[in-house]
Structure 1
Amino acid sequence: MAVLTPSQPAAAPPEEPAAPPTPGRSGADARFVVPGAALTLLAALLLGFAANLTVLGHIEHARAQQTGFDTLRQQLALGTAPVGRLDANGKQVGLGSPVAVLHIPAIGLREVVFQGTTSGVLTKGPGHLRNTPLPGQPGTSTVLGRQWGYGSPFNHLDELHPGDPITVTTGQGQQQYRVTGIRRAGDPAPTVLHTGQGRLTLITATGGAYTPHGVLRVDADLTSPVQPGPAAGGAISTAERPLEGDPAAWLPVLLWLQALLVAVVAVTWAFRRWGRWQTWIAGLPVLTAIVVALSGAATELLPNLL
């Protein structure tokens, strides 16, 4: 047993290692936080953009088709389905109103056709070009449809062959057509129609997936009796022409951007004052809904045949 003498001081107990400092939110470097948040928002917007053109867009298209079919079926039963640019009340048929049902057995297509051909209308399904007659009436009726996005209703249009039947149901009954040919850029136009003849032209995009670079046209001649109809024609906006986006979509895009900014500020404030998990539980659904709505509005700026 060791004995301490006055000349031998007692040994000090060993010191415990200091605990590492706990990182806190106050120590975050703004040089990394701000760019990180911006990149996170950008990634979320890109994911929402892709989702709207694929999964969410197909769901939206299916819902629009169901509601459009129910509306048109009721109008057909009541005899109020539109047969021209004016409805039963003498008013212009609104953009996005159902006007016909297109059936092409050769490619398994059955779609409700809506009035108008803007990018927003074509998210619902094929659209009728407003300055052309409705199917079954004299002249060339034109219907546009997307190649890939929002249900991709006209994705297999290039698989049609001359002689394939097409049926279009309108307020004037069933109209029968036979495909006469497929046209791409540079192909000759079909023969001019004579008085009392009818033709249907289906238009979609050409190119790879979600990369349209041209227009594909399918022509079909009317084989059923021609139906009477008002004179076609009139002005249409640039947004209703093939491969055009809709400039009117900029307003909802800007409004949703403002909503996203407000939501981000609110989530940031709640994160510092309320707590991490409480903020995410309350804020994540709001941010997700705004991002989906914003990216959906932005898709209307893209070509309508995409």
Structure 2
Amino acid sequence: MAVLSPSREAAGPPPEPAEPQKGRAAEQRPSAWLVIPGAALTLLAALLLGFVVNLTLLGHVEHARAQQTGYADLRAQLAKGTAPVGRLDDKGEPVPLGSPVAVLHIKAIGLKEVVFQGTTSGVLRSGPGHRRDTPLPGQPGTSIVMGRQWGYGSPFNHIDELKAGDPITVTTGQGQQRYQVTGVRHAGDPAPALPGTGQGRLILMTATGGLYTPHGVLRVDAELVSDVQPGPAAGGGISAAEQPLAGDPAAWLPILLWTQGLLLVAVAVTWTYRRWGRWQTWICAVPVLAAVVVALSGEATRLLPNLL
């Protein structure tokens, strides 16, 4: 008895060849049109986060460290008698920006801060700054000290609480200078008359406004009640970056360099991701990326108003 073979129609169509695994993996790999925007948004979010962290947590740490270092340096200079008493140091050279020049103490608000030379945004990250075109505290004329309201230790956040009669003490290379608060001024308030010959005044300046939203300048006036100290003639020019609520345009160069560094790190991370794999790459790349982002965002904060 003959066995009939099934027809092709009964057997159905022949099975399709299986797709190679390599092709499937290529289809599952994300498109570059999605990867590149995602990476860019991730870097942007990291920069914004680093910006906030610099103004708050890391900024306060940097401020505290600068205060400790500045106090130690100024204490050594006071012991040697080489602390600045004017625009020039003991060698006849201009006092460098960021050099400690005084210690400000206001008991009424619990403030004790080292004052540094200069009022740029970068200097005021370390603490209050002495405006270079005014005499040092204790000398005749009007001395101006500027400080931040919120960022980097927020040293002048509570000076608006001062009242007439509150004492202020400033220690300089000429000893301890004593002041007495006469009033607090907001934008638009009339300024007091200029101090007379042989009289001294101290003006503390910071920003007004809500959290990290400055919109004006607050001033605290104080009259010198201790003996007036001799001092060199004040004056000279200051840069636009040392004016109240000014940013520091000198930050653009380091920002550009750190941005280039961030792009190089991003390229290196992409290359290692293809060579090593996901987890090996992130274990090595995250610390480097974090360091570059913190450095870049830290320089970017110098563009903000110096009294913020």
TM superposition score category, shorter chain reference: over 0.9
Could you state the TM-score of these two structures normalised by the residue count of structure 2? Answer: 0.92
Please list every run of 5 or more consecutive structure 1 residues that lacks an aligned counterpart in the other structure: 1-5
Deviation beyond 3 Å, 4+ runs, structure 1: 6-9, 21-26
* Residue 243 (structure 1) aligned with residue 242 (structure 2): no
135-144 or 187-196, which deviates more: 187-196
Q: Paired residue for 1:91? A: 93
Q: Please, which of 272, 278, 281 is the counterpart of residue 280 of structure 2?
A: 278
Report the alpha carbon displacement of residue 42 of structure 1 after superposing the two structures with TM.
Answer: 0.2
Report the alpha carbon displacement of residue 173 of structure 1 after superposing the two structures with TM.
Answer: 0.4
Could you tell me which amino acid in structure 2 is paired with residue 210 of structure 1?
A: Y
Could you state the TM-score of these two structures normalised by the residue count of structure 1? Answer: 0.93
Q: Paired residue for 1:140? A: 142
Q: Paired residue for 2:230? A: 228
- Write the distance in 2 (CA, Å) between the matches of 1:218 and 1:197: 17
Q: Paired residue for 1:70? A: 72
Q: Please, which of 299, 302, 306 is the counterpart of residue 300 of structure 1?
A: 302
- Write the distance in 2 (CA, Å) between the matches of 1:106 and 1:211: 26
Q: Paired residue for 2:29? A: 27
Alignment of 1:104-119 (within 5 A): 104-119=106-121
- Write the distance in 2 (CA, Å) between the matches of 1:26 and 1:287: 27
Q: Please, which of 270, 273, 278 is the counterpart of residue 268 of structure 1?
A: 270
- Write the distance in 2 (CA, Å) between the matches of 1:100 and 1:23: 67
- Write the distance in 1 (CA, Å) between the matches of 2:78 and 2:194: 32
- Write the distance in 1 (CA, Å) between the matches of 2:91 and 2:262: 41
- Write the distance in 1 (CA, Å) between the matches of 2:27 and 2:241: 48
Q: For the structure 1 residues 24 and 81, does the alpha-carbon distance in structure 2 shift closer, same or farther, using more than 3 Å as the test?
A: farther
Report the alpha carbon displacement of residue 8 of structure 1 after superposing the two structures with TM.
Answer: 11
Aligned identity (percent) is 74
Q: Paired residue for 1:206? A: 208
- Write the distance in 2 (CA, Å) between the matches of 1:286 and 1:270: 13
Q: Secondary structure at the match of 1:137?
A: coil
Could you tell me which amino acid in structure 2 is paired with residue 118 of structure 1?
A: T
Please list every run of 5 or more consecutive structure 2 residues that lacks an aligned counterpart in the other structure: none
Q: Paired residue for 1:3? A: none
Report the alpha carbon displacement of residue 260 of structure 1 after superposing the two structures with TM.
Answer: 0.3
- Write the distance in 2 (CA, Å) between the matches of 1:51 and 1:265: 25
- Write the distance in 2 (CA, Å) between the matches of 1:192 and 1:145: 22
* Residue 218 (structure 1) aligned with residue 220 (structure 2): yes
* Residue 289 (structure 1) aligned with residue 291 (structure 2): yes
Report the alpha carbon displacement of residue 186 of structure 1 after superposing the two structures with TM.
Answer: 1.0
185-194 or 204-213, which deviates more: 185-194
217-226 or 27-36, which deviates more: 27-36
Cα RMSD after superposing both structures: 1.9
198-207 or 269-278, which deviates more: 269-278
Paired residues, number? 295
Report the alpha carbon displacement of residue 25 of structure 1 after superposing the two structures with TM.
Answer: 9.3
